[in-house]
A and B are shown apart, each in its own frame.
Chain A
Amino acid sequence: MRLKSYRFFDISKDHNYFDEEANRRIMRKVADKCYLPMNQLLLDLIHEFKGEFKVSFSISGTAMDQFEMYAQDVLDSFKRLADTGCVEFLAETYAHSLSALKSPEEFKNQVERQAKKIEQLFGQKPKVFRNTELIYSNHIGWMVNQMGYKTMVTEGADKVLDWRSPNYLYQNEHVPELKLLLKNYKLSDDIAFRFSQSSWDAWPLTADKYVDWLNSISWTEEIVNLFMDYETFGEHQWHETGIFDFMYHLPRLVLSRSEFKFCTPSEASAQLQVRGALSIDNPISWADLERDLSAWLGNHIQDDAFDSLYRLEEKVKRIDDKDIQRDWLYLQTSDHFYYMCTKFFSDGDVHKYFNHYNTPYEAFINYMNVLTDFEERVNNYIKALDAKPKSASKLNGAPKVQAPVKAKSLAKAKPAAKAKPVAKAKAKPVAKPKPKVAPKTKAKVAPKAKAKVVAKAKPKAVAKAKPKSKPVVKPKAKSTTTTTKKKK
């Protein structure tokens, strides 16, 4: 949810912070280039392979709000996918926020709220959690497990895996009930980032070649999790690059030429044995070379903006106003902090691609202007609340509080909702067999939804004692590459 250009002289006068025009335009563009054609392709593949092809999505509440506002057709197409039974929707924070790093309470609220929205729109309760930007640590894992989730997706970062392979099911060393599916960033990024890079020695990438790589994975390894921005398909990689063609062929080649099957994260978690435990004190993420939080937090401007925002949390929680609550959510979106990143050297190019501000400082000043106005509105509410002690004890009995002007509500954001804890997911999969898991791809939706497609091994695989499953995904490729991916 992009902020509009908001100047100092707008403070106290303008309470509409978001660039609705741009948000609508971007959503429409991405819907036409990516969501609609890719959803259709996935739907066709699911039908064609009659249950053998599966994917999963992780979509933020903000993205769902935007679908509702600007792209009902996208929402409908996701619903059609949900109806196939071959698509799993994951839980995440409502606002694609970094709340897990700051406020356990806010984190929980947002997860509950997003899960409720998923259930309302797609008729399934999320059972697997994936945090914003795949941010994960022991503590975050613990919080997630406390909310009832037994499986979480995170980055297969080298710095935590060291010599180990991401291609197994892991668990949180301190909270063994929480299983971890690790993104295979090499194979994921081959599609998400390198697919159309002509300087890449494996370019052009074909589904055949990709399946060769899958087949070269040691037979002892059990799953390949593919997770990527959903905009990979048609937006980051344009239609002309052949990405849709690749995706058309991949499943058929995986199913015909490899031992991999496709499965959903829940199925993978249920069917696979835990092969190792991870202890991760400092949060990891999927971003940049560092795979840490430095894309969003860590420099002065990011930290000051972040702290200034969450300093308002206590007050915001007392206010029963849907505009305030909606803005509170949208102001937490991680992108705002991403735009303030000053690491220009190693990952500056990627950052630039995703950043419409000229400089991080411009992004910061704009954000702080908005936040100053938001703080003033919040304080006015609180003042009004405190001023009328006797009257109705219920907050909602006090609608007369002269509140700040009302911004027009975008999103039909769901009212504060005290959602219930969300999925209790207990995946009980069955299968004792050790199936072969398939990979999962995840895509992240541009607006900030991240959809993740998980492809996983075929589910039916029942017990077959050999654990060598391999993931799945097979592309079709028209290109031939040779990359190197060697997995141990």
Chain B
Amino acid sequence: MKKKRLRALMFGWEFPPQISGGLGTACYGLVSGLIQHNVDVLFVVPKLYGKEDTDKFRFVDANKVAVNFDHPSFNENLKKISYLEINSRIIPYVSPEEFATSQESTFSDVRINNTAKTLQYTFTGKYGADLIKEVQQYAMVAMQIARDNEFDIIHAHDWLTYQAGIVAKEISGKPLVVHVHATEFDRSGEHVNQDVYNIERAGFHAADTIIAVSRLTRRILIDRYDVPPHKVVVVHNAVVPRSKVIYKKENLLDKQIVTFLGRITFQKGPDYFVEAAKKVLEQLPDVHFVMAGHGDMYIKLVERVAELRMSSRFHFTGFLNSAETDKMYGMTNVYVMPSVSEPFGITPLEAMRSGVPVIISNQSGVAEVLKYVIKVDFWDTNILADSICGLLNYPKISKTLAEEGYKEVDGLKWEYAALRVKEVYQETLNQLR
């Protein structure tokens, strides 16, 4: 009585090595863990770049999928997907005459084959100006994929893929799990993009089960999206194990360095880091601060740092590649993540894995799973400054946090998180039975 293997159809937007944020990394860890637990995962991406590990993972490249527009359900689903009044067209506008006369039409992002009655889209897989259009086209492709493949459950990561998940559920009748790595409120504060919010909301309500990466995120779903609490389960992220790499310090050799690393945007709280730095420098004038990354608050903060007259102690590096990121951790004495709203937060784990003591905000999901870190409220720059000074002044505390933190992170394995996700699949399927 061999148990049948679970088969998941998973929709994602990025996958290593081609990633721009934490989403791709999380997908990589999760899928790896699911495979370990004997779950078959078919992973759909907008675009394959060629460097993906196709031996280990099974992919569908949305670029390669020919969508049959002659199918009876095509128009119905098209209507559903394009219910948003958005200035983008999922299929190019073509007059009936043109449609009839041309055997094959090529538009910038769509190829129409009238003989085979198929549409094929070209995806960039980026986060560009046409993002919403790509998101809708991705959902069109999902229609075909759902018809062509066998699976037991659908799993969609973040709003970019929710419509695809909804369509696949419609076509197949299989249950949908949506996985929330971030919400529009995390990304934009109170200035939410209404289209994005609408897509998210539709995804949450169409889902049979929702996985949130933290209790913090679960709370947002319940409070801001009217999601019934029983539908949301929390599965914290984990980290992909890696051997400990400690880089030798090469810059500012005899200085203590406090680092912020991430997008310089509202969500990450970089302005609180700046204000705290000022307070630290009043006590410890020789400490250096580094803000690594880029974002829409960059210029404002360069100005602010200059206004506080601390530019000779506060450095901006711009965007760092991964080797430089490792180097940066290698020279860091204290790592700070003062996020205003962080569904999870992977960078503190990276810092800890490099043996760096860490301060994080209580407003981050990762605070729910870590013990060997200092936790502060992002807005309390006095306490943040005190904590930084404490770690710099008392090497024993730093050392303890660094050592214990390293072990702690080592215990956060995707294997465990993936097992929990597998259970979620089974519970979802059981409910429907």
Chain A interface residues (CB < 8 Å from chain B): 7-13, 299-301, 303-305, 307-308, 311, 359, 361, 364-365, 368-369, 371-372, 375-376
Asked if A304 contacts B315 (CB within 8 A), the reply is no
Asked if B299 contacts A304 (CB within 8 A), the reply is no
8 closest A-B pairs (Cβ-Cβ)? A300-B306, A304-B306, A308-B312, A8-B317, A300-B307, A301-B306, A304-B311, A11-B251
Asked if A11 contacts B306 (CB within 8 A), the reply is no
Q: How far in angstroms is the closest Cβ of chain B from A376?
A: 7
Asked if A375 contacts B252 (CB within 8 A), the reply is no
- Beyond A7-B317, A10-B251, A369-B315, 14 additional pairs, beta carbon < 8 A: A7-B318, A8-B317, A9-B327, A11-B251, A12-B250, A13-B250, A300-B307, A303-B306, A304-B309, A308-B311, A311-B312, A368-B315, A372-B252, A372-B288
Asked if A361 contacts B311 (CB within 8 A), the reply is no
Asked if A375 contacts B303 (CB within 8 A), the reply is no
Contacts of B288 in A (CB 8 A): 372
A361: which of B299, B309, B312 is its contact (CB, 8 Å)? B299
Q: Which of B253, B288, B302, B310 has the most CB of A within 10 A?
A: B302
A-B contacts, 25 listed (Cβ < 8 Å): A7-B317, A9-B250, A9-B317, A9-B324, A9-B327, A11-B251, A11-B252, A12-B251, A12-B253, A13-B251, A300-B306, A301-B306, A303-B309, A304-B306, A304-B307, A304-B310, A311-B312, A359-B299, A361-B302, A364-B302, A365-B315, A365-B318, A368-B315, A372-B288, A376-B252
Q: How far in angstroms is the closest Cβ of chain A from B129?
A: 22
Contacts of B327 in A (CB 8 A): 9
Given known contacts A300-B307, A304-B309, A376-B252, A8 and B302 CB-to-CB distance under 8 angstroms: no
Asked if A368 contacts B303 (CB within 8 A), the reply is no
Contacts of B69 in A (CB 8 A): none
Chain B interface residues (CB < 8 Å from chain A): 250-253, 288, 290, 298-299, 302-307, 309-312, 315-318, 324, 327
Cα A371 to Cα B252 in complex, Å, equals 12
Q: How far in angstroms is the closest Cβ of chain A from B427?
A: 49
Cα A361 to Cα B301 in complex, Å, equals 11
A368: which of B252, B312, B324 is its contact (CB, 8 Å)? B312
Cα A159 to Cα B199 in complex, Å, equals 61
A8: which of B251, B303, B305, B306 is its contact (CB, 8 Å)? B251
CB-based nearest B residue for A340: B306
Cα A299 to Cα B250 in complex, Å, equals 32
B303: which of A13, A300, A308, A376 is its contact (CB, 8 Å)? A300
Asked if A368 contacts B317 (CB within 8 A), the reply is no
Contacts of A304 in B (CB 8 A): 305-307, 309-312
Asked if B306 contacts A364 (CB within 8 A), the reply is yes
Asked if A365 contacts B316 (CB within 8 A), the reply is yes
Q: Which of B288, B290, B298, B309 has the most CB of A within 10 A?
A: B309
Contacts of B303 in A (CB 8 A): 300-301
B251: which of A9, A305, A365, A375 is its contact (CB, 8 Å)? A9
CB-based nearest A residue for B312: A308
Cα A13 to Cα B253 in complex, Å, equals 10
Contacts of A300 in B (CB 8 A): 303-304, 306-307
Asked if B250 contacts A371 (CB within 8 A), the reply is no
Contacts of A371 in B (CB 8 A): 312
Contacts of B253 in A (CB 8 A): 12
Q: How far in angstroms is the closest Cβ of chain B from A69?
A: 30
Q: How far in angstroms is the closest Cβ of chain A from B285?
A: 11
Contacts of A11 in B (CB 8 A): 251-252, 315
Q: How far in angstroms is the closest Cβ of chain B from A419?
A: 30
Cα A361 to Cα B264 in complex, Å, equals 15
Asked if B302 contacts A365 (CB within 8 A), the reply is yes
Asked if B309 contacts A307 (CB within 8 A), the reply is yes
Q: How far in angstroms is the closest Cβ of chain B from A335?
A: 18
Q: How far in angstroms is the closest Cβ of chain A from B95?
A: 45
Cα A66 to Cα B272 in complex, Å, equals 45
Cα A145 to Cα B249 in complex, Å, equals 51
Asked if B317 contacts A301 (CB within 8 A), the reply is no
Q: How far in angstroms is the closest Cβ of chain A from B301?
A: 10
Contacts of B311 in A (CB 8 A): 301, 304-305, 308, 364, 368
Cα A368 to Cα B312 in complex, Å, equals 6
CB-based nearest A residue for B286: A379
Contacts of A365 in B (CB 8 A): 302, 315-316, 318
Q: Which of A8, A303, A371 has the most CB of B within 10 A?
A: A8
Cα A293 to Cα B250 in complex, Å, equals 38
CB-based nearest B residue for A359: B299
Contacts of B298 in A (CB 8 A): 361
Asked if A375 contacts B290 (CB within 8 A), the reply is no
Cα A308 to Cα B305 in complex, Å, equals 13
Contacts of B317 in A (CB 8 A): 7-9
Q: How far in angstroms is the closest Cβ of chain A from B299?
A: 6
A12: which of B252, B302, B307, B312 is its contact (CB, 8 Å)? B252
Q: How far in angstroms is the closest Cβ of chain B from A374?
A: 10
Contacts of A372 in B (CB 8 A): 252, 288, 312, 315
Cα A372 to Cα B298 in complex, Å, equals 20
Contacts of B315 in A (CB 8 A): 8, 11, 365, 368-369, 372
Contacts of A368 in B (CB 8 A): 311-312, 315
Cα A69 to Cα B152 in complex, Å, equals 75
Cα A359 to Cα B294 in complex, Å, equals 15
Cα A130 to Cα B210 in complex, Å, equals 74
Q: How far in angstroms is the closest Cβ of chain A from B322?
A: 14
Contacts of A10 in B (CB 8 A): 251
Cα A371 to Cα B299 in complex, Å, equals 20
CB-based nearest A residue for B298: A361
Q: How far in angstroms is the closest Cβ of chain B from A299?
A: 8
CB-based nearest A residue for B331: A9
Asked if B302 contacts A375 (CB within 8 A), the reply is no
Cα A305 to Cα B311 in complex, Å, equals 7
Q: How far in angstroms is the closest Cβ of chain B from A136?
A: 27
Contacts of A376 in B (CB 8 A): 252
Contacts of B299 in A (CB 8 A): 359, 361
Contacts of A375 in B (CB 8 A): 312
CB-based nearest B residue for A305: B311
Contacts of A12 in B (CB 8 A): 250-253
